[in-house]
Chain A
Amino acid sequence: MSECVVPTLTSNEVVASKSVLPAGWKADLSNLKGLDLTLPMLELLRRSTSRLPQDVIDALVKGRDAEEEGSRAFNTLNDMVRNIILADGNVSPLCQDTGTIIVWVRHPFGLSQRAAKQQIRAAVAEATKRSWLRPNCVEALSGKNTGTNMDPFHEGHPAVHFEEWDKPEVEIAVMQKGGGCENVGAQYRLPDAAIGAGRDIKGVRKCIIDAVVKAQGQGCSPGILGVAIGGDRVSSYEKSKELILRKLGTPNPDPKMDAFEKEITNDLNTLGIGPMGYGGNTTVLGVLVEEMYRHPASFYVSISYMCWSSRRGSITLKTNGEVSFD
């Protein structure tokens, strides 16, 4: 069980050959009103649910190789790599909890957000029918499952955010946020006497350590943390989630924050929680931090915890009709 599994995914050619987009499919951005996002969105979900981003795989392998060979931490990380290879090869969900589907659409002037939302919803319903997604949308009190992943009020699920931008392209990013890791997210209001956290970067550091210790293995460690400093309760949490879209290993544009991210990642990996809370040196794969602005009276630190199976991806529709995935 303990030999090092090499994480070789299927080639881009094979992935393209399984695409739901017909060969030669082109987006016509000169006619934004006639643009249909259903198929590109479905293809994006097919990939995000079954194929983990390379930067996350690299971080898992790096963690595994730093654990003692044959230890429970090593074997667990090795099983995670095995699972990644299987899901990719079979085009089956990496995890049975295919998560809350969160979508960010960035588009030029002229795209109908109402039409785009309908198309995204149609793609999510179709992906559910194909067993790429689990029906994860239930009525809050009764627990009754709609079976389709559709919230009939068009509010909670799938969660779609729109932003108009100056570029001519349309970009759709998706995140599949599992419930276990969502449950261990936390929001702190500083000062916080219980953990001795003041209104400064030292206080922020204490919040992060406290949240990770409270989470133990419950959020499927090794986790990836998005940490927003500032904002109001909503914008702060929202930012903390969006931060998880950033690729691991890419530097924070703010050099001070970049240094802080590296330092806190190293500190967290001395906690000994390890993969799945079994003990070990790999407790987090990365910490992604951003400073926002805030009301003078409020100082929030919002932490979103993403499980090791950080399923995310994006698709860009270009003016020449080309479609690219990342």
Chain B
Amino acid sequence: MIRLTTPITEDQIRQLKVGDEVLLSGRVVLSRDMGHKYMKEQKPEWLKPILENMVIYHCGPVVRKNPDGSWSFVAAGPTTSIREEPYQADVIETYKVRGVIGKGGMGKKTSEGLQKTGAVYLHATGGAGSLLAERCKRVVDVKMLEEFGSPEAFWIIEVEDFPLVVTMDSHGGSLHEIVAQQSQERAKALMA
């Protein structure tokens, strides 16, 4: 088990390999469909200090507003990452992001972006909304809540021992590609 705390250096990221299990702590920024389109098309400057050497989490949480005005995460597992494939590599490069958390894996373009900038794709267990919300310890801030709505906003949170598996590394490795290839071969045999 490897423990990592954000911000993360390129050196730390380059040491990670497909299959490594990671417990992540520190600050993480949530963003999904609307956020990625916005980052690629408008490249807002204000996000640069927030995202540099940080980790993006593909997640649209269920949130609760507390009587004192603060926010809590009620359920917060990963959403399907492949929808961000057209945007992810550009976002990683523009903002020097070191990691992307999601589920289901991503494609060739993102893999090339991970190699170029020095970043990894970290897989969380989909559907484990309650379990993962327990590791989201504090909501630090939220941006674009009005514009995007709560599932799509940039939630800036602190996580503790967030359980992840490296499924795409910065050297071109991808567990998703291996499983896809093997299952396609097996399907061919089943359909013969």
Contact = CB atoms under 8 A, between A and B. Distances in A.
How would you classify the secondary structure of chain A's contact residues: helix, strand, loop or mixed? loop
Contacts of A87: 75, 129-130
Given A79-B163, A131-B63, A93 B149 contact: no
Interface in B26-67: 33-34, 59-64
B70 interface: no
A80 B125 contact: yes
A276 B105 CA distance: 10
23 contacts: A72-B165, A80-B125, A80-B127, A80-B128, A83-B127, A93-B130, A94-B127, A95-B77, A97-B77, A131-B74, A133-B62, A138-B149, A180-B80, A206-B191, A209-B187, A210-B187, A218-B104, A220-B126, A267-B190, A271-B186, A277-B176, A278-B123, A278-B167
Nearest to B178: A279
Interface stretch (A13-21, A140-148, A245-253): A140-148
Interface string A220-258: 100000000000000000000000000000000000000
B88 interface: no
Given A96-B62, A145-B152, A213 B75 contact: no
B127 A272 contact: no
B150 interface: yes
B104 A96 contact: no
Interface residues of B, number: 48
Nearest to B60: A96
A274 B186 CA distance: 13
Contact of B187 (A83, A96, A213, A279): A213
B186 A97 contact: no
Interface residues of A, number: 54
A79 B125 contact: yes
A277 B129 CA distance: 18
A259 interface: no
A166 B130 CA distance: 41
A96 B190 contact: no
Nearest to B151: A134
Contact of A272 (B60, B125, B167, B186): B186
Contacts of A86: 130-131, 134
A145 B149 contact: yes
B179 A278 contact: yes
Given A209-B191, A213-B184, A272-B186, A147 B149 contact: yes
Given A134-B151, A138-B149, A270-B186, A96 B129 contact: yes
Contacts of B80: 179-180, 183, 218
Nearest to A308: B127
Given A79-B163, A209-B187, A218-B104, A272 B179 contact: yes
A242 B165 CA distance: 35
A217 to B, nearest CB: 5
Contacts of A93: 62, 74-75, 129-130
Given A143-B152, A180-B80, 7 more contacts: A92-B75, A96-B133, A98-B75, A134-B151, A179-B80, A217-B176, A278-B179
Given A80-B127, A274-B179, A308-B127, A92 B186 contact: no
Given A86-B134, A90-B130, A217-B103, A97 B179 contact: no
A178 B103 CA distance: 14
A87 B148 CA distance: 27
Contacts of A195: 191
A63 interface: no
Contacts of B184: 213
A18 B62 CA distance: 21
B157 interface: no
B76 interface: yes
A147 B127 CA distance: 22
Nearest to A50: B130
A201 B74 CA distance: 44
In the A-B complex, the 3 residue pairs with the smallest Cβ-Cβ separation, listed nearest first, are A145-B149, A96-B75, A220-B126
